[in-house]
Amino acid sequence: MTAASSSSFFTLLAFVISALIFFLFRKSKSKTLNLPPGPPGWPVVGNLFQFARSGKPFFQYVDDLRKEYGPIFTLKMGTRNMIILSDAMLCHEALIERGALFASRPRENPTRNIFSCNKFTVNAAVYGPVWRSLRRNLVQNMLSSTRLKEFRTVREMAMDKLIARLSAEAEANNGVVWVLKNARFAVFCILLAMCFGIEMDEETVEKMDQTMKAVLIVLDPRIDDYLPILRPFFSKQRNRALQVRKEQVDYIVQFIEKRRQMIRNTGSDKAAMSFSYLDTLFDLKVEGRKSGPSNPELVSLCSEFLNGGTDTTGTAIEWGIARLIDNPDVQSKLYEEIKSTVGDRKVEEQDVEKMTYLQAVVKELLRKHPPTFFVLTHAVTEPTTLAGYDIPTDVNLEIYSPAISEDPKLWSNPEKFDPDRFVSGKEDADITGVKGVKMMPFGVGRRICPGLGMATVHVHLMLARMVQEFEWKAYPPNSPLDFTGKLEFTVVMKNPLRAMIKQRA
Ligand code: HEM
């Protein structure tokens, strides 16, 4: 290479490098996102420590911020950006009008990946073929109205057991009973029977419940989920999660294998039910896969079925009974409706459609006390905008639903528990959100809770039976109830409800 040619080579190189830097710079500038506003954060940690130092539960922290930053705002939680929506019109636009775009789920933290078997569950799967196959199976083969009817005797038995347990507990404790614990137990028994196709004795139900609770505890978010750089300091917690997963798989696989055997030798177990969720899963064809789910995958799918409906329904009943105690006139009106509809026989689930007041009580209950304040986290399938702001794919979209169901622009006296609002015809709400979003205890759009139908049967039936059998009063007598919520997996009553019950004449 001559001196002249080498100088022109280096000039060219300098030009190419400068052009590259210019274009890269331009590109990175054009990549600067216009995210919704939010509280200014600190470098690296964002708003993480501000939240921790506030001492508030997350829902309270969000509720306070939305008053300052409006219906769409950003929180930077370490490496995660969260965009929080709390407005009915925006939710309708995102989840209904542009539903497919907003129907995905974000990447999971490592612990969640262990328990969802790398997103092989309905709730965790990204919007795509795996999700479609799993959800279609759950909805069509388990939760359709025809399938639901097949499990009517299971529900009847669980309701009888619930009433017997409450009577026994009241007799042993001067008329005082725990509400959440008993309601949870009843619905858990129903879901277990539907899932595994066998009636379980109380000891097995308790063991299964402990296994599930241990999972929920290790799934609690940790700081290293938001700051992955800290992961090496959390190896003890990671090992604990792996151990809990192993215990969960070992325990539940026994029931899976038992059911496999029963199907192979039909009639071998007289107590076995003719149908179960597991039966639908054994040979499930999942788009893009050659074989059916593995045992660990079956464990994740069964756990989702049990977890999805237990605490949510139990929580609804706890708030429901608390509201009936606080509003004795509502309780009396409900009891009168039950008596006039069914006379002296037990309430059955087909009576519910004739009981308009019961339906109004349950709707008002789910408006005032959605069991989960945030629907499950959503993500977009491709970058888009909402309300003029950028929504990238790696953002967690959180929907804070009490802001909608208590929005004074949508409801008269939203703070008041008033089932009559739904009876008078003055107010109504489409719970699926299709005709407009006013409340969304089950989410809305493509990811709406597939258990909605079954859950509402459970809540109606359980409340009706509990009010038919007993009169409910405060404990200690005449004490005011505290309606403060506390975040566990769902938002439960801060002071778990104990109530006085008296058998109706
Ligand atoms: C009162 C009871 C219940 C409430 C309040 C409730 C609430 C919810 C909510 C808010 C979501 C998230 C929706 C979204 O991401 O936009 C959801 C999803 C889900 N629920 Fe429920 N749920 C209840 C009962 C049940 C039952 C009984 C089952 C099944 C046995 C169930 C299974 C699921 C599943 C699998 C998903 C994920 C759906 C998906 O991602 O496609 N839930 N539920």
Q: Give the helix/strand (H/E) hosting 355.
A: none
CATH number for the domain spanning 218: value is: 1.10.630.10
Domain that holds residue 166: 3-503
- Binding site feature residues: 449
- Binding site feature residues for heme: 449
Residue ID of nearest Cα to ligand 1 atom 3: 312
- Counting Cβ atoms within 10 Å, is residue 369 exposed (0-12), middle (13-18) or buried (19+)? buried
Measured in whole angstroms, the distance separating CA 86 from the mean position of its chain's CA atoms is: 17
Kindly give the number of the ligand 1 atom that is closest to the alpha carbon of 446. 41
Cα of 449 vs centre of ligand 1, distance in Å, is 4
Query: How much is the pLDDT for 273?
Result: 85
* 3-class DSSP state of 496: coil
Query: How much is the pLDDT for 199?
Result: 85
Cα of 455 vs centre of ligand 1, distance in Å, is 9
Pocket test for ligand 1, best of 191, 400, 449 (most atoms within 8 A of CB): 449
Cα of 120 vs centre of ligand 1, distance in Å, is 16
Cα of 448 vs centre of ligand 1, distance in Å, is 7
Query: How much is the pLDDT for 12?
Result: 39
Residue ID of nearest Cα to ligand 1 atom 18: 449
Residue ID of nearest Cα to ligand 1 atom 15: 376
Q: Under a CB-based contact definition with an 8 Å cutoff, are residues 205 and 182 in contact?
A: no
Query: How much is the pLDDT for 446?
Result: 98
Pocket test for ligand 1, best of 131, 377, 442 (most atoms within 8 A of CB): 442
Query: How much is the pLDDT for 123?
Result: 98
- Mean pLDDT per block of 10 residues along the chain (505 residues) reads 41 38 42 93 95 95 97 97 98 98 96 96 98 97 93 96 98 98 97 94 94 94 94 96 97 95 80 90 91 96 97 98 98 98 95 97 98 97 98 97 97 97 92 96 98 97 98 97 94 97 94
Query: How much is the pLDDT for 269?
Result: 74
Query: How much is the pLDDT for 31?
Result: 64
The structure tokens listed for 287 are 């788009």
Cα of 122 vs centre of ligand 1, distance in Å, is 10
Q: Which residues line ligand 1 (CB under 6 A)?
A: 122-123, 135, 304-305, 308-309, 312-313, 316, 371-372, 375-376, 441-443, 447-451, 454-455, 459
3-class secondary structure per residue, 4-57: HHHHHHHHHHHHHHHHHHHHHHHHHHHCCCCCCCCCCCECCCECHHHHHHHCCC
Query: How much is the pLDDT for 429?
Result: 95
Number of domain units in the chain = 1
Q: Provide the 8-state DSSP code for 378.
A: B
CA atoms within 13 A of residue 253's CA, in its CB half-sphere? 11
Of the candidates 359, 375, 331, which has an alpha carbon nearest to the alpha carbon of residue 429?
359
Kindly give the number of the ligand 1 atom that is closest to the alpha carbon of 490. 5
Kindly give the number of the ligand 1 atom that is closest to the alpha carbon of 399. 16
Kindly give the number of the ligand 1 atom that is closest to the alpha carbon of 374. 10
Q: How far is CA 325 from CA 135, 279, 291, 466, in A?
A: 38, 42, 52, 12
Cα of 467 vs centre of ligand 1, distance in Å, is 26
Specify the pTM: 0.92
